[in-house]
Structure 1
């Protein structure tokens, strides 16, 4: 996987799948930037990255001015990774303000980043956008009404970008990373509210697997899959990326 000469931005790249994606893109030769929403998170990511060349930016996804300023630099690759799971609870048990905040982060802010990135990509003849999707975009889970709705909206945004801008060189993918050992999964286990929360931590995949797949999607090798919602559990995709088959 060669991405030499490409610039990439990973939102929420300070931990979990985001941080692993920063590493994978940098290893493929891209100049990588990432966002974190606090100075402490930014510092922790820099420590974890060690000698991996990457530039962190203090920017909350819901801060439209900060994100617009960052995206003015122009990127060849945008990975819309930043997301939250909460509020976790049945519909009568959550506050509308918390529900709306989830949609703002998981969908509206991803739209804004996409919109800002697209302008530069179209101007220079192309670019790649990877939206981190989820099985929850297509199958409801008890207690996750906001998360499911936001990810379903993001899946439709992927299709809309493909329909409107594929002819202008924009490669867009929705990518479901599977159940990965991240802090989000820790919050899910703590909730105990649906079958996903019952999965033992030992059964969760490492973050470097979806990160390798995301980096692969940013290369021409994935051109035949442009515009699609993809799942890391698909055998053909795993084989193409070079991941081991699932047991």
Structure 2
């Protein structure tokens, strides 16, 4: 049995990962602040297979703890953790960002994946195959002016998972992957376009504004299917 934990499933890639994973018969634990009516209905129809854990990912103290993850992962042959949740905000010039926006970006994009991974590795069954997937971005390796917090947290996240991969390099049960899904037709892209029209510091904004018309936004469902096929099948 494959047990999959996914963060941020209410829209975009996270919703697609939830759909693909649940459709193929995985036991799914979805972690986040919001869930769709369809996800709630599926939880009601398949309570043994679908768990919705409502929390604010910006507060690491309220992430699923060891006992919750141990119970969820019990009897699993394969334990998969997918860090999908992320925020692109704040977009703007350093020196004009709010402390709240800065700390929220670090908490959601970096602290939550680090804390959840630490707990997940302790809770996973000793004989299970473990898959740790961090949904990153090209922004981790290429500076985008105006995205200081997103670039920084994604780069730091990749470094953390590279450190984890080094730690477990002799354990064939565990694999770690930093994944760049590319540009997709998601709510994050809408947030980026809103920032482009807000007057915030964002020199390269036209590339993002033109992306939908130029057909450069991939379908999240197609991306989700590829990720799960390549890294958790």
TM-score bracket for the superposition, by shorter chain length: 0.7 to 0.9
Give the Cα separation in 2 of the matches to 1:150 and 1:123.
31
More divergent stretch after superposition (10-19 vs 202-211): 202-211
Question: What is the match of residue 115 of structure 2?
Answer: 112
**Residue 225 of structure 2 corresponds to which residue in structure 1?**
212
Residues 125 and 42 of structure 1, relative CA distance in 2, 3 Å threshold = closer
Q: How much is the aligned-residue C-alpha RMSD, in angstroms?
A: 2.3
Distance in 1 between residues matched to 2:72 and 2:127, nearest whole Å: 9
TM-score normalised by structure 1 residue count = 0.78
Measured after TM superposition, the shift of residue 151 of structure 1 is: 0.2
Distance in structure 2 (CA, Å) of the matches to 1:48 and 1:20: 16
Q: Which has the higher helix share?
A: 1
Length, aligned pairs only:
213
Paired position in structure 2 for 1:29: 25
Change (3 A) 1:44 1:140: farther
Unaligned runs of 5+ in 1: 221-247
User: Is 1:67 paired with 2:60?
Assistant: no
Partner of 2:13: 17
Note if 1:171 corresponds to 2:175.
yes
1:129-180, CA deviations, whole angstroms, 9 ceiling, x for partnerless residues? 1100000000011111001000001111121111112323211101111111
Structure with bigger RCO (C-alpha 8 Å, 6+ apart): 2
3-state secondary structure, aligned to 1:130: strand
Alignment-derived partner of residue 191 in structure 1: 195
CA distance, structure 2, for counterparts of residue 180 and residue 59 of structure 1: 25
**Aligned position for 1:231:** none
Give the 3-state SS of the residue equivalent to 1:8 in structure 2. Answer: strand
Question: Distance between the aligned counterparts of 1:171 and 1:90, measured in 2?
Answer: 37
Structure 2 CA distance for partners of 1:56 and 1:47, relative to 1, 3 Å: closer
SS of aligned partner of 2:168: helix
Name structure 2 gaps, 5 residues minimum.
Answer: 74-78, 197-201
Offset at residue 92 of structure 1 (A)? 1.9
For normalisation by structure 2, the TM-score amounts to: 0.82
2:169 match: secondary structure: helix
Would the aligned equivalents of 2:80 and 2:232 in 1 still touch at CA under 8 Å? no
In the other structure, the counterpart of 1:42 is 35
C-alpha deviations, 1:67-103, integer Å up to 9, x for none? 2154233540000011111111111221233212201
CA distance in 2, matches of 1:198, 1:131: 26
